[in-house]
Amino acid sequence: MTHDSEITTNLSQDIVVTPVVADTAGRNRLVINLLLVATFVVILNETLMAVAIPRLMRDLNVTAGAVQWLTTAFLLTVSVVIPVTGFLLQRMNTRPVFVCAMSLFTLGTLIAALAPSLQVLILARIVQASGTAIMVPLLMTTVMTLAPPETRGKTMGFISTVISVAPAIGPTISGVILNYLNWRWLFILILPISIGAMALGARRIQNVTTPHHAPIDGISVILSGVAFGGLVYGLSNIGLPAAPGTPAAGIISSAGAVFLAVFIFRQLSLQRKGYPLLDLRTFESRNFTVSVLLMAIMIMALFGTIILLPIYLQNVLGLSTLQTGLLLLPGGLLMGLLAPHVGRLYDKGGPARLMVPGAIVVSTVLWAMTLLGPTTWVGYILAGHVVMSVGFAFLFTPLFTVSLSSVKPSLYSHGSAVIGTIQQVAGAAGVALFVALMSARAASLAARGLSPVEALSGGIRAGFLCGAIISVFAVACVFFVRRPSVRLEAGH
Protein backbone atom coordinates (compact mmCIF):
# COMPACT_ATOMS: atom_id res chain seq x y z
CA MET A 1 0.00 0.00 0.00
CA THR A 2 2.81 2.38 0.88
CA HIS A 3 4.72 1.41 -2.25
CA ASP A 4 1.66 2.15 -4.42
CA SER A 5 1.21 5.51 -2.72
CA GLU A 6 4.84 6.41 -3.37
CA ILE A 7 4.49 5.51 -7.04
CA THR A 8 1.31 7.61 -7.31
CA THR A 9 3.01 10.52 -5.58
CA ASN A 10 6.03 10.34 -7.88
CA LEU A 11 3.81 10.17 -10.94
CA SER A 12 1.80 13.17 -9.71
CA GLN A 13 4.97 15.16 -9.17
CA ASP A 14 6.13 14.31 -12.70
CA ILE A 15 2.80 15.27 -14.22
CA VAL A 16 2.59 18.61 -12.42
CA VAL A 17 5.57 20.02 -14.31
CA THR A 18 4.14 19.36 -17.78
CA PRO A 19 2.89 22.39 -19.74
CA VAL A 20 -0.65 21.01 -20.18
CA VAL A 21 -1.20 20.71 -16.45
CA ALA A 22 0.40 24.10 -15.88
CA ASP A 23 -2.05 25.61 -18.38
CA THR A 24 -4.91 23.80 -16.65
CA ALA A 25 -3.73 25.06 -13.25
CA GLY A 26 -3.63 28.63 -14.56
CA ARG A 27 -7.11 28.27 -16.01
CA ASN A 28 -8.40 26.87 -12.73
CA ARG A 29 -6.92 29.76 -10.72
CA LEU A 30 -8.48 32.28 -13.10
CA VAL A 31 -11.92 30.65 -12.84
CA ILE A 32 -11.78 30.48 -9.03
CA ASN A 33 -10.52 34.06 -8.67
CA LEU A 34 -13.26 35.44 -10.93
CA LEU A 35 -15.88 33.53 -8.96
CA LEU A 36 -14.43 34.81 -5.68
CA VAL A 37 -14.61 38.44 -6.83
CA ALA A 38 -18.17 38.05 -8.12
CA THR A 39 -19.29 36.29 -4.94
CA PHE A 40 -17.73 39.04 -2.81
CA VAL A 41 -19.80 41.64 -4.66
CA VAL A 42 -23.11 39.78 -4.32
CA ILE A 43 -22.57 38.97 -0.62
CA LEU A 44 -21.51 42.55 0.15
CA ASN A 45 -24.89 43.62 -1.20
CA GLU A 46 -26.70 41.54 1.45
CA THR A 47 -25.73 43.77 4.39
CA LEU A 48 -25.70 47.17 2.67
CA MET A 49 -29.41 47.72 3.34
CA ALA A 50 -29.35 47.29 7.13
CA VAL A 51 -28.06 50.81 7.82
CA ALA A 52 -30.22 52.34 5.07
CA ILE A 53 -33.60 51.36 6.55
CA PRO A 54 -34.21 54.62 8.50
CA ARG A 55 -33.27 56.68 5.42
CA LEU A 56 -35.59 54.61 3.20
CA MET A 57 -38.47 55.01 5.65
CA ARG A 58 -38.10 58.78 5.42
CA ASP A 59 -37.43 59.11 1.68
CA LEU A 60 -40.12 56.63 0.56
CA ASN A 61 -42.57 57.57 3.33
CA VAL A 62 -43.13 53.98 4.49
CA THR A 63 -43.31 52.21 7.84
CA ALA A 64 -40.59 50.07 9.42
CA GLY A 65 -42.71 46.94 8.87
CA ALA A 66 -43.03 47.69 5.17
CA VAL A 67 -39.37 48.48 4.58
CA GLN A 68 -38.37 45.33 6.46
CA TRP A 69 -39.63 43.40 3.43
CA LEU A 70 -36.44 44.43 1.65
CA THR A 71 -34.60 42.00 3.93
CA THR A 72 -37.38 39.43 4.26
CA ALA A 73 -37.93 39.15 0.50
CA PHE A 74 -34.20 38.77 -0.08
CA LEU A 75 -33.89 35.95 2.48
CA LEU A 76 -37.01 34.21 1.18
CA THR A 77 -35.76 34.25 -2.40
CA VAL A 78 -32.34 32.90 -1.45
CA SER A 79 -33.86 30.10 0.62
CA VAL A 80 -36.19 29.13 -2.24
CA VAL A 81 -33.61 29.28 -5.06
CA ILE A 82 -30.65 27.55 -3.37
CA PRO A 83 -32.19 24.04 -3.29
CA VAL A 84 -32.69 24.27 -7.07
CA THR A 85 -29.01 25.08 -7.71
CA GLY A 86 -28.00 21.42 -7.36
CA PHE A 87 -30.10 20.70 -10.45
CA LEU A 88 -28.80 23.77 -12.35
CA LEU A 89 -25.16 22.90 -11.72
CA GLN A 90 -25.75 19.40 -13.07
CA ARG A 91 -27.57 20.51 -16.21
CA MET A 92 -25.50 23.55 -17.24
CA ASN A 93 -21.86 24.43 -17.84
CA THR A 94 -19.90 26.76 -15.57
CA ARG A 95 -19.94 29.82 -17.84
CA PRO A 96 -23.71 29.98 -18.57
CA VAL A 97 -24.51 29.45 -14.88
CA PHE A 98 -22.13 32.29 -13.96
CA VAL A 99 -23.55 34.59 -16.64
CA CYS A 100 -27.10 33.76 -15.52
CA ALA A 101 -26.30 34.52 -11.86
CA MET A 102 -24.45 37.78 -12.54
CA SER A 103 -27.06 38.90 -15.11
CA LEU A 104 -29.81 38.51 -12.53
CA PHE A 105 -27.78 40.32 -9.89
CA THR A 106 -26.85 43.15 -12.29
CA LEU A 107 -30.44 43.54 -13.49
CA GLY A 108 -31.67 43.66 -9.90
CA THR A 109 -29.05 46.28 -9.02
CA LEU A 110 -30.08 48.44 -11.99
CA ILE A 111 -33.77 48.22 -11.06
CA ALA A 112 -32.93 49.13 -7.46
CA ALA A 113 -30.92 52.18 -8.51
CA LEU A 114 -33.89 53.45 -10.54
CA ALA A 115 -36.69 52.24 -8.23
CA PRO A 116 -39.44 54.90 -7.88
CA SER A 117 -41.19 53.13 -4.99
CA LEU A 118 -40.74 50.56 -2.24
CA GLN A 119 -42.61 47.91 -4.24
CA VAL A 120 -40.18 48.21 -7.17
CA LEU A 121 -37.23 48.19 -4.75
CA ILE A 122 -38.50 44.95 -3.19
CA LEU A 123 -38.80 43.45 -6.69
CA ALA A 124 -35.21 44.51 -7.36
CA ARG A 125 -34.04 42.79 -4.19
CA ILE A 126 -35.81 39.58 -5.26
CA VAL A 127 -34.01 39.65 -8.62
CA GLN A 128 -30.68 40.35 -6.88
CA ALA A 129 -31.26 37.48 -4.45
CA SER A 130 -31.90 35.05 -7.32
CA GLY A 131 -28.39 35.72 -8.61
CA THR A 132 -26.85 35.62 -5.12
CA ALA A 133 -28.42 32.23 -4.39
CA ILE A 134 -26.75 30.72 -7.47
CA MET A 135 -23.28 32.23 -6.98
CA VAL A 136 -22.29 30.68 -3.63
CA PRO A 137 -23.08 27.03 -4.53
CA LEU A 138 -21.45 27.60 -7.94
CA LEU A 139 -18.27 28.83 -6.25
CA MET A 140 -18.12 25.97 -3.74
CA THR A 141 -18.87 23.27 -6.32
CA THR A 142 -16.27 24.67 -8.72
CA VAL A 143 -13.61 24.84 -6.00
CA MET A 144 -14.28 21.24 -4.99
CA THR A 145 -14.03 20.19 -8.63
CA LEU A 146 -10.84 22.11 -9.47
CA ALA A 147 -8.78 22.49 -6.30
CA PRO A 148 -6.39 19.58 -5.63
CA PRO A 149 -6.82 17.92 -2.22
CA GLU A 150 -3.49 19.20 -0.91
CA THR A 151 -4.56 22.87 -1.35
CA ARG A 152 -8.32 22.52 -0.92
CA GLY A 153 -8.29 23.88 2.63
CA LYS A 154 -6.41 27.02 1.55
CA THR A 155 -8.82 27.62 -1.32
CA MET A 156 -11.83 27.09 0.93
CA GLY A 157 -10.18 29.61 3.24
CA PHE A 158 -10.54 32.25 0.53
CA ILE A 159 -14.25 31.39 0.30
CA SER A 160 -14.53 31.87 4.06
CA THR A 161 -12.78 35.23 3.66
CA VAL A 162 -15.36 36.34 1.12
CA ILE A 163 -18.27 35.09 3.22
CA SER A 164 -16.87 36.74 6.39
CA VAL A 165 -15.40 40.04 5.21
CA ALA A 166 -18.14 41.09 2.77
CA PRO A 167 -20.96 41.10 5.38
CA ALA A 168 -18.63 42.65 7.99
CA ILE A 169 -17.72 45.71 5.94
CA GLY A 170 -21.15 46.10 4.30
CA PRO A 171 -22.72 48.19 7.09
CA THR A 172 -19.58 50.34 7.42
CA ILE A 173 -19.46 51.07 3.67
CA SER A 174 -23.20 51.72 3.68
CA GLY A 175 -22.84 54.18 6.59
CA VAL A 176 -20.09 56.12 4.83
CA ILE A 177 -22.04 56.33 1.54
CA LEU A 178 -25.26 57.41 3.26
CA ASN A 179 -23.37 60.06 5.20
CA TYR A 180 -22.68 61.90 1.93
CA LEU A 181 -24.98 60.54 -0.79
CA ASN A 182 -28.53 59.40 -1.54
CA TRP A 183 -29.48 55.76 -0.82
CA ARG A 184 -29.58 55.04 -4.57
CA TRP A 185 -25.78 55.29 -4.60
CA LEU A 186 -25.67 52.03 -2.65
CA PHE A 187 -26.65 50.40 -5.94
CA ILE A 188 -25.13 52.88 -8.41
CA LEU A 189 -21.63 52.26 -7.06
CA ILE A 190 -22.03 48.47 -7.17
CA LEU A 191 -23.49 48.44 -10.70
CA PRO A 192 -20.25 49.03 -12.70
CA ILE A 193 -18.39 46.46 -10.57
CA SER A 194 -21.14 43.93 -11.21
CA ILE A 195 -21.17 44.67 -14.96
CA GLY A 196 -17.36 44.39 -15.12
CA ALA A 197 -17.34 41.06 -13.27
CA MET A 198 -20.08 39.70 -15.53
CA ALA A 199 -18.33 40.80 -18.72
CA LEU A 200 -14.93 39.51 -17.62
CA GLY A 201 -16.39 36.20 -16.51
CA ALA A 202 -18.33 35.78 -19.76
CA ARG A 203 -15.07 36.20 -21.68
CA ARG A 204 -12.58 34.40 -19.47
CA ILE A 205 -14.35 31.71 -17.43
CA GLN A 206 -13.87 28.25 -18.92
CA ASN A 207 -16.39 25.44 -18.70
CA VAL A 208 -14.83 23.16 -16.09
CA THR A 209 -17.70 20.75 -15.46
CA THR A 210 -19.42 18.16 -17.64
CA PRO A 211 -23.21 18.69 -17.63
CA HIS A 212 -25.55 15.76 -18.06
CA HIS A 213 -29.26 15.30 -18.55
CA ALA A 214 -31.21 15.48 -15.28
CA PRO A 215 -35.00 15.91 -15.50
CA ILE A 216 -36.49 18.42 -13.09
CA ASP A 217 -39.41 17.48 -10.88
CA GLY A 218 -41.88 20.37 -10.77
CA ILE A 219 -43.59 19.09 -7.62
CA SER A 220 -40.25 19.09 -5.79
CA VAL A 221 -39.62 22.70 -6.83
CA ILE A 222 -43.00 23.74 -5.41
CA LEU A 223 -42.51 21.74 -2.23
CA SER A 224 -39.02 23.17 -1.81
CA GLY A 225 -40.23 26.75 -2.21
CA VAL A 226 -43.08 26.35 0.25
CA ALA A 227 -41.00 24.38 2.78
CA PHE A 228 -37.85 26.49 2.94
CA GLY A 229 -39.64 29.75 2.24
CA GLY A 230 -42.15 29.02 5.02
CA LEU A 231 -39.43 28.04 7.48
CA VAL A 232 -37.26 31.08 6.85
CA TYR A 233 -40.18 33.52 6.80
CA GLY A 234 -41.81 32.03 9.87
CA LEU A 235 -38.58 31.87 11.89
CA SER A 236 -37.58 35.40 10.82
CA ASN A 237 -40.88 36.83 12.09
CA ILE A 238 -41.34 34.94 15.36
CA GLY A 239 -41.95 37.44 18.13
CA LEU A 240 -43.24 40.12 15.71
CA PRO A 241 -46.95 40.96 15.41
CA ALA A 242 -48.56 39.32 12.39
CA ALA A 243 -49.67 41.59 9.58
CA PRO A 244 -53.45 42.01 9.25
CA GLY A 245 -54.98 39.03 7.47
CA THR A 246 -51.87 36.82 7.71
CA PRO A 247 -51.32 33.81 9.98
CA ALA A 248 -48.92 33.96 12.90
CA ALA A 249 -45.25 33.26 12.29
CA GLY A 250 -45.40 30.07 14.34
CA ILE A 251 -48.15 28.67 12.11
CA ILE A 252 -46.19 29.54 8.95
CA SER A 253 -42.99 27.93 10.22
CA SER A 254 -44.92 24.83 11.33
CA ALA A 255 -46.49 24.55 7.88
CA GLY A 256 -43.02 24.93 6.39
CA ALA A 257 -41.79 22.04 8.55
CA VAL A 258 -44.67 19.83 7.35
CA PHE A 259 -43.92 20.61 3.70
CA LEU A 260 -40.24 19.96 4.41
CA ALA A 261 -41.10 16.46 5.59
CA VAL A 262 -43.08 15.86 2.39
CA PHE A 263 -40.20 17.29 0.33
CA ILE A 264 -37.70 14.93 2.00
CA PHE A 265 -39.96 11.93 1.42
CA ARG A 266 -40.31 12.83 -2.26
CA GLN A 267 -36.54 13.26 -2.70
CA LEU A 268 -35.94 9.82 -1.19
CA SER A 269 -38.45 8.40 -3.64
CA LEU A 270 -36.91 10.21 -6.62
CA GLN A 271 -33.39 9.10 -5.66
CA ARG A 272 -34.39 5.54 -6.57
CA LYS A 273 -35.28 6.83 -10.06
CA GLY A 274 -32.07 8.83 -10.33
CA TYR A 275 -33.30 12.42 -10.60
CA PRO A 276 -33.99 14.08 -7.20
CA LEU A 277 -34.08 17.87 -7.07
CA LEU A 278 -31.86 17.79 -3.97
CA ASP A 279 -29.93 14.54 -3.58
CA LEU A 280 -30.00 13.56 0.10
CA ARG A 281 -27.47 10.76 -0.37
CA THR A 282 -24.97 13.35 0.82
CA PHE A 283 -26.17 12.47 4.33
CA GLU A 284 -25.07 8.87 3.87
CA SER A 285 -21.63 10.23 4.80
CA ARG A 286 -21.51 10.44 8.58
CA ASN A 287 -18.75 13.02 8.31
CA PHE A 288 -20.92 15.25 6.10
CA THR A 289 -23.89 14.88 8.46
CA VAL A 290 -21.90 15.74 11.58
CA SER A 291 -20.20 18.67 9.81
CA VAL A 292 -23.52 20.10 8.63
CA LEU A 293 -25.03 19.70 12.11
CA LEU A 294 -22.05 21.49 13.65
CA MET A 295 -22.26 24.19 10.99
CA ALA A 296 -25.95 24.74 11.76
CA ILE A 297 -25.23 25.13 15.48
CA MET A 298 -22.40 27.59 14.86
CA ILE A 299 -24.43 29.64 12.38
CA MET A 300 -27.29 29.87 14.88
CA ALA A 301 -24.81 31.19 17.45
CA LEU A 302 -23.19 33.56 14.94
CA PHE A 303 -26.42 35.09 13.63
CA GLY A 304 -27.90 35.32 17.11
CA THR A 305 -24.80 37.17 18.29
CA ILE A 306 -24.86 39.46 15.24
CA ILE A 307 -28.44 40.52 16.05
CA LEU A 308 -28.07 40.87 19.84
CA LEU A 309 -24.75 42.69 20.07
CA PRO A 310 -25.87 45.83 18.16
CA ILE A 311 -29.06 45.98 20.25
CA TYR A 312 -26.99 45.74 23.42
CA LEU A 313 -24.39 48.29 22.31
CA GLN A 314 -26.95 50.88 21.15
CA ASN A 315 -29.91 50.40 23.50
CA VAL A 316 -28.09 49.42 26.68
CA LEU A 317 -24.64 51.04 26.44
CA GLY A 318 -25.85 54.00 24.36
CA LEU A 319 -23.41 53.77 21.44
CA SER A 320 -24.28 55.32 18.07
CA THR A 321 -24.82 53.31 14.91
CA LEU A 322 -21.43 54.34 13.54
CA GLN A 323 -19.67 53.46 16.81
CA THR A 324 -21.39 50.06 16.81
CA GLY A 325 -20.32 49.34 13.24
CA LEU A 326 -16.72 50.36 13.92
CA LEU A 327 -16.58 48.26 17.10
CA LEU A 328 -17.79 45.12 15.33
CA LEU A 329 -15.67 45.68 12.21
CA PRO A 330 -12.28 44.38 13.55
CA GLY A 331 -13.72 40.98 14.46
CA GLY A 332 -15.34 40.50 11.05
CA LEU A 333 -12.19 41.55 9.21
CA LEU A 334 -9.98 39.36 11.39
CA MET A 335 -12.20 36.34 10.79
CA GLY A 336 -11.88 36.86 7.05
CA LEU A 337 -8.15 37.55 7.05
CA LEU A 338 -7.42 34.45 9.13
CA ALA A 339 -9.41 32.11 6.89
CA PRO A 340 -6.72 31.42 4.22
CA HIS A 341 -4.12 30.79 6.94
CA VAL A 342 -6.52 28.43 8.69
CA GLY A 343 -7.00 26.68 5.35
CA ARG A 344 -3.26 26.14 5.01
CA LEU A 345 -3.13 24.70 8.54
CA TYR A 346 -5.99 22.38 7.60
CA ASP A 347 -4.07 21.17 4.53
CA LYS A 348 -1.09 20.34 6.75
CA GLY A 349 -2.73 18.83 9.81
CA GLY A 350 -6.44 18.19 9.28
CA PRO A 351 -9.48 19.60 11.09
CA ALA A 352 -9.16 18.41 14.70
CA ARG A 353 -6.35 20.70 15.86
CA LEU A 354 -8.25 23.70 14.49
CA MET A 355 -11.88 22.93 15.25
CA VAL A 356 -11.53 21.72 18.83
CA PRO A 357 -9.92 24.94 20.14
CA GLY A 358 -12.20 27.00 17.87
CA ALA A 359 -15.39 25.48 19.32
CA ILE A 360 -14.07 25.85 22.89
CA VAL A 361 -13.17 29.52 22.32
CA VAL A 362 -16.60 30.36 20.86
CA SER A 363 -18.38 28.58 23.70
CA THR A 364 -16.24 30.32 26.33
CA VAL A 365 -16.98 33.79 24.93
CA LEU A 366 -20.71 33.05 24.73
CA TRP A 367 -20.70 32.00 28.38
CA ALA A 368 -18.82 35.21 29.24
CA MET A 369 -21.49 37.24 27.41
CA THR A 370 -24.12 35.95 29.83
CA LEU A 371 -22.49 38.34 32.36
CA LEU A 372 -23.03 41.51 30.32
CA GLY A 373 -24.77 44.39 32.09
CA PRO A 374 -25.60 48.10 31.78
CA THR A 375 -22.17 49.11 33.11
CA THR A 376 -19.93 46.65 31.20
CA TRP A 377 -16.85 48.37 29.73
CA VAL A 378 -17.08 48.51 25.95
CA GLY A 379 -13.45 47.33 25.68
CA TYR A 380 -14.52 43.93 27.01
CA ILE A 381 -17.11 43.66 24.24
CA LEU A 382 -14.52 44.51 21.60
CA ALA A 383 -12.05 41.96 22.98
CA GLY A 384 -14.74 39.27 23.30
CA HIS A 385 -16.00 39.82 19.77
CA VAL A 386 -12.47 39.66 18.34
CA VAL A 387 -11.67 36.44 20.26
CA MET A 388 -14.99 34.89 19.20
CA SER A 389 -14.26 35.81 15.56
CA VAL A 390 -10.95 33.95 15.80
CA GLY A 391 -12.85 30.91 17.08
CA PHE A 392 -15.31 31.10 14.20
CA ALA A 393 -12.41 31.41 11.73
CA PHE A 394 -10.95 28.17 13.11
CA LEU A 395 -14.31 26.46 12.61
CA PHE A 396 -15.88 27.54 9.33
CA THR A 397 -13.03 26.95 6.88
CA PRO A 398 -12.43 23.35 8.06
CA LEU A 399 -16.18 22.73 8.16
CA PHE A 400 -16.69 23.83 4.54
CA THR A 401 -13.74 21.72 3.44
CA VAL A 402 -14.54 18.59 5.45
CA SER A 403 -18.24 18.53 4.61
CA LEU A 404 -17.87 18.71 0.83
CA SER A 405 -14.74 16.57 0.76
CA SER A 406 -16.73 13.81 2.47
CA VAL A 407 -19.15 13.22 -0.43
CA LYS A 408 -18.58 11.79 -3.88
CA PRO A 409 -17.69 14.30 -6.62
CA SER A 410 -20.99 13.56 -8.38
CA LEU A 411 -22.74 14.97 -5.29
CA TYR A 412 -20.68 18.17 -4.91
CA SER A 413 -23.43 20.36 -6.40
CA HIS A 414 -26.07 18.84 -4.12
CA GLY A 415 -23.76 19.09 -1.10
CA SER A 416 -23.22 22.79 -1.83
CA ALA A 417 -26.98 23.32 -2.13
CA VAL A 418 -27.60 21.48 1.16
CA ILE A 419 -25.01 23.62 2.95
CA GLY A 420 -26.43 26.84 1.51
CA THR A 421 -29.96 25.87 2.53
CA ILE A 422 -28.88 24.88 6.04
CA GLN A 423 -27.12 28.25 6.40
CA GLN A 424 -30.32 30.15 5.58
CA VAL A 425 -32.59 28.10 7.84
CA ALA A 426 -30.11 27.96 10.74
CA GLY A 427 -29.43 31.71 10.50
CA ALA A 428 -33.15 32.50 10.61
CA ALA A 429 -33.63 30.05 13.48
CA GLY A 430 -30.75 31.59 15.45
CA VAL A 431 -32.11 35.11 15.07
CA ALA A 432 -35.65 34.01 15.96
CA LEU A 433 -34.54 32.03 19.01
CA PHE A 434 -32.24 34.71 20.44
CA VAL A 435 -34.70 37.56 19.85
CA ALA A 436 -37.68 35.61 21.22
CA LEU A 437 -35.81 34.76 24.42
CA MET A 438 -34.54 38.32 24.75
CA SER A 439 -38.03 39.77 24.31
CA ALA A 440 -39.72 37.34 26.70
CA ARG A 441 -37.13 37.79 29.43
CA ALA A 442 -37.06 41.58 29.04
CA ALA A 443 -40.86 41.74 29.31
CA SER A 444 -40.78 39.55 32.42
CA LEU A 445 -38.15 41.72 34.11
CA ALA A 446 -39.98 44.93 33.17
CA ALA A 447 -43.13 43.54 34.77
CA ARG A 448 -41.17 43.14 38.01
CA GLY A 449 -40.37 46.86 38.05
CA LEU A 450 -36.89 46.96 36.52
CA SER A 451 -35.95 49.94 34.36
CA PRO A 452 -36.17 49.47 30.57
CA VAL A 453 -32.38 49.39 30.24
CA GLU A 454 -31.94 46.82 33.02
CA ALA A 455 -34.82 44.71 31.66
CA LEU A 456 -33.37 44.74 28.15
CA SER A 457 -29.93 43.89 29.50
CA GLY A 458 -31.40 40.91 31.31
CA GLY A 459 -33.19 39.80 28.15
CA ILE A 460 -29.97 39.99 26.14
CA ARG A 461 -28.22 37.87 28.77
CA ALA A 462 -30.96 35.26 28.35
CA GLY A 463 -30.36 35.20 24.60
CA PHE A 464 -26.63 34.72 25.07
CA LEU A 465 -27.32 31.98 27.63
CA CYS A 466 -29.21 30.11 24.91
CA GLY A 467 -26.22 30.53 22.61
CA ALA A 468 -23.86 29.33 25.32
CA ILE A 469 -25.94 26.21 25.92
CA ILE A 470 -26.16 25.22 22.24
CA SER A 471 -22.43 25.87 21.89
CA VAL A 472 -21.82 23.02 24.34
CA PHE A 473 -23.38 20.67 21.78
CA ALA A 474 -20.98 22.09 19.20
CA VAL A 475 -18.01 21.28 21.44
CA ALA A 476 -19.31 17.72 21.73
CA CYS A 477 -19.89 17.38 17.96
CA VAL A 478 -16.46 18.64 16.99
CA PHE A 479 -14.77 15.50 18.31
CA PHE A 480 -16.70 13.38 15.78
CA VAL A 481 -15.47 15.28 12.71
CA ARG A 482 -12.77 13.38 10.84
CA ARG A 483 -10.60 14.25 7.90
CA PRO A 484 -12.07 12.58 4.79
CA SER A 485 -10.31 9.55 3.39
CA VAL A 486 -7.60 10.08 0.79
CA ARG A 487 -9.78 8.49 -1.89
CA LEU A 488 -12.65 10.91 -1.27
CA GLU A 489 -10.40 13.96 -1.11
CA ALA A 490 -8.76 12.92 -4.37
CA GLY A 491 -12.18 12.72 -6.02
CA HIS A 492 -12.48 8.95 -6.48
Give the pLDDT confidence score for residue 9 in this predicted structure: 39
Dist CA 72 CA 204 (whole Å) = 35
Transcribe 378-395 into DSSP letters: HHHHHHHHHHHHHHHHHH
* pLDDT at residue 95, rounded to an integer: 82
Measure the CA–CA gap between 290 and 283, rounded to whole angstroms. Answer: 9
Work out the percent of the chain whose per-residue pLDDT is above 90: 8
Structure-model confidence comparison of residues 252 and 165, the more confident one: 252
Q: Is the pLDDT of residue 492 over 50?
A: no
Mean pLDDT of the chain: 79
The predicted structure's pLDDT at residue 109: 93
pLDDT at 45: 79
In 3D, which of 158, 161, 136, 156 has the Cα closest to residue 335?
Answer: 161
- CA 20 to CA 45: how far, in whole Å? 38
Average pLDDT over residues 344-360: 85
Q: Is 50 exceeded by the pLDDT of residue 14? A: no
Q: Are 385 and 422 in contact (CB under 8 A)?
A: no
DSSP letter, residue 245: T
pLDDT at position 335:
82
Confidence of residue 214 (pLDDT cuts 50, 70, 90): low
- pLDDT reading at 182 higher than 80: yes
Residue 305: the pLDDT is 80
- What's the pLDDT score for residue 3? 44
Res 333 pLDDT > 60: yes
Q: Which of 82-91, 231-240, 460-469 has the lowest mean pLDDT?
A: 231-240
Q: What is residue 123's predicted lDDT score, i.e. its pLDDT?
A: 92
Over 23-53, what HEC string results? HHHHHHHHHHHHHHHHHHHHHHHHHHHHHHH
Contact residues for 295 (Cβ-Cβ < 8 A; gap 6+): 396, 399, 403, 419, 422, 423, 426
Report whether pLDDT(242) > 70.
no
Q: Residues near 60 by Cβ (< 8 Å), separated by ≥ 6? A: 67, 117, 118, 121
**37, exposed or middle or buried, with CB in 10 Å at 0-12, 13-18, 19+?**
middle
Spatial separation of the C-alpha atoms in residues 240 and 257, rounded to whole Å: 20
Give the pLDDT score at 487.
53
Least confident of 26-40, 114-128, 257-271: 26-40
Of the pLDDT bands very low, low, confident and very high (cuts 50, 70, 90), residue 175 is confident
Q: Of 50-54, 85-89, 349-353, give the lowest mean pLDDT range.
A: 50-54
pLDDT digits (tens, 9 = 90+) for 29-76: 777 788 888 888 888 877 777 667 777 878 888 776 677 677 778 877
User: What integer pLDDT is reported at residue 208 of this predicted model?
Assistant: 61
Handedness of CA 181, 186, 187, 192 (dihedral sign): positive
Reported as a pLDDT band with limits 50, 70 and 90, residue 1 is very low
Q: What is the mean pLDDT of residues 438-443?
A: 84
Q: What is the pLDDT of residues 275-300, one digit of tens each?
A: 777 778 888 888 888 888 888 888 88
pLDDT in tens, 366-420: 999 889 888 889 889 899 989 988 888 888 888 888 888 888 877 777 788 888 7
Q: What share of the chain is helix, strand, coil (3-state, %, to 5)?
A: 85, 0, 15
Q: Name all contacts of 121-126 with Cβ < 8 Å and 24+ positions apart.
A: 121/56, 121/60, 121/70, 122/69, 122/70, 122/73, 124/187, 125/49, 125/70, 125/73, 125/74, 125/77, 126/73, 126/74, 126/77
Q: In the predicted model, is pLDDT for residue 250 greater than 90?
A: no
pLDDT for the residue 112: 92
Arithmetic mean of pLDDT, 189-203? 87
Q: What confidence score (pLDDT) does residue 364 get?
A: 92
The more confident residue out of 156 and 341 is: 341
Q: How far apart are CA 366 and CA 306, in angstroms?
A: 12
Nearest Cα to Cα of residue 50 among 277, 307, 298: 307
* Higher pLDDT among residues 151 and 446, named by residue: 446
pLDDT > 80? residue 176:
no
Query: At residue 220, does pLDDT exceed 70?
Result: yes
